[in-house]
Structure 1
Amino acid sequence: MKTYAIISDIHGNSLALQAVLKDIASREANQIINLGDHVFGALESEQTAKLIRQVPMLCISGNTDREILENLDKSSDKENMERVKADLSAESVEWLKQLPPTTVCDDLFFVCHGTPDSDVEYLLEEVTPHGVFIYNDDELVRKTEQVSQRIILCGHSHVNRLVYLSNNKIILNPGSVGLPAYLGNGKHRFAMESMTPHAKYTLVKVDGDNINIEMIHCAYDWNTASTAAKANGSEKWAQFLLYGRMPKDLRVGE
């Protein structure tokens, strides 16, 4: 049997990452797979990048990792971007540059941040004027038809979900290690909420054809993380970190 730990969307939350890595070590996972969005946010970008590089794991790039690189030589009005760029070392920037957008692991997992073709689209969730819904089976089969691996790993939405498809494939989002909720402002205003402040990851245990999946919620000092986000000027992040949901004054439709 081989055990894989799937993590994603750390977003510079080193306290959450430390708790997750400690829990993973206690469970003796053979391989860590990291789905990207490593360092961007209101917390400890450089400290988090160093910690990730100290632990053997398979990493890909997320949309915010790409956005950091795209804005290295120009200013950005995206909240936290200038502070993150100033915090990152040259070594961390070079590490980000080496990350692939997708990869395959052991011919069992197809690893992407958003979808197989995009780091900004959601694989499982459809955002509509009426809220966020999970795509039906036919649509998910179509969206992943080019993937030959049985398990498709995705992040980006920060909400841990497991969907079994009619063609025997599995789509798994492990949830977010470091940011349990956020407010989206694309074509429609929407909320992504995991409903708890815990740091989230998933264990996949493979024994022949048998695949056991365990979604894990790790406690950590989210009060300290929230205070740090507020001190860095990100009141919204401070609230997201504390509750894993939208504060009442930010709720969509209210």
Structure 2
Amino acid sequence: MVERLRHEICRLADIHGNALALEAVLRDMEGLGLSEAVNLGDVFSGPLEAGRTAQMLMGRGFPSIRGNHDRYLIEHDPAEMGPSDRVAYDQLEAAHLEWIAGLPPTRLVFGDVFMCHGTPQSDSVYWLEKVEGDGRVRPATLAEIEAEAEGGSAGLILCAHTHIPRCLRLSDGRVVVNPGSIGCPAYDDGAPVYHVMQTGTPNASYAVVEKREGAYDVTFRSVPYAAQEASALAARNGRADWARSLATGWFGA
């Protein structure tokens, strides 16, 4: 795709198999009169509805990239997968895994929009947030963010992975946007040390971006959906942690 960004495009990320949340976001887009989107990865992994998520998303032809959990689904032996990846893997068909395998880790679209999942160099490294040695999560400094952005020329850079919606401007005028997570509002992770990421809302998050007179207009959308139903499904699949996070937006609530 080589055309410039001239109209509103939705930024979707970190669906994590939450078909109920994706359904609500697609309805919200329709209500806004929007039908085009890009997908920043981590589409399926989670104790929810990976198969139904695939049915809803893959046929739409949204420009997509592969996230770290998408990569795990095609690189790891199922017997060695984490519980979220394994639940998703068992629901997916060969065609879904082939689709993942065909996705690039990064992508340039609309002539001036760069897509990555974590950073331009890694799908598993946080970019706009940093984890301290004691597990505290803080916003990355401008210098830390710009160090990862060196060598790029796209005016709009899209990232995901942390599930925290953010928009910031670099010193040279480039804009970086993380649309947040559609399907997983809070989680814990053991790398680089144990920490928790949480948004504090069960709503599905995505962003709408439009280029106007050379500047990017970014609107974050926080969409209510049947989060209690998703929470109950996670609980039935043996994931009490996911159930709490989906119901509240807080990991330990």
Unpaired stretches in structure 2, ≥5 consecutive residues: 1-5
Which one of 157, 164, 170 corresponds to residue 159 of structure 1? 164
Show structure 1 runs of 4+ deviating over 3 A: none
Give the number of equivalent residue pairs.
Answer: 247
CA distance in structure 2 between the partners assigned to 1:153 and 1:234 by the alignment: 30
Residue 107 of structure 1 deviates from its aligned partner by 2.0
Residue 137 of structure 1 deviates from its aligned partner by 1.4
Residue 150 of structure 1 deviates from its aligned partner by 1.1
CA distance in structure 2 between the partners assigned to 1:100 and 1:207 by the alignment: 29
2:201 is equivalent to residue 201 of structure 1: no
CA RMSD for the aligned pairs?
A: 1.3
2:106 is equivalent to residue 102 of structure 1: yes
Q: Aligned runs of 1:38-77 on 2, under 5 Å?
A: 38-71=43-76, 73-77=77-81
Q: Secondary structure at the match of 1:175?
A: coil
Residue 132 of structure 1 deviates from its aligned partner by 1.0
Which one of 69, 80, 85 corresponds to residue 84 of structure 2? 80
1:128 counterpart residue number: 132
CA distance in structure 1 between the partners assigned to 2:87 and 2:210 by the alignment: 39
Q: Aligned runs of 1:186-225 on 2, under 5 Å?
A: 186-225=191-230
Residue 171 of structure 1 deviates from its aligned partner by 1.0
What's the TM-score once normalised by structure 1's chain length? 0.93
Q: Percent identity?
A: 34
Residue 85 of structure 1 deviates from its aligned partner by 1.8
Alignment CA distance shift 1:83-1:211 (3 Å): closer
CA distance in structure 2 between the partners assigned to 1:19 and 1:182 by the alignment: 21
CA distance in structure 2 between the partners assigned to 1:185 and 1:177 by the alignment: 22
Q: Secondary structure at the match of 1:227?
A: helix
Q: Secondary structure at the match of 1:59?
A: coil
1:251 counterpart residue number: none
1:183 counterpart residue number: 188
Unpaired stretches in structure 1, ≥5 consecutive residues: 249-254
Residue 125 of structure 1 deviates from its aligned partner by 1.0
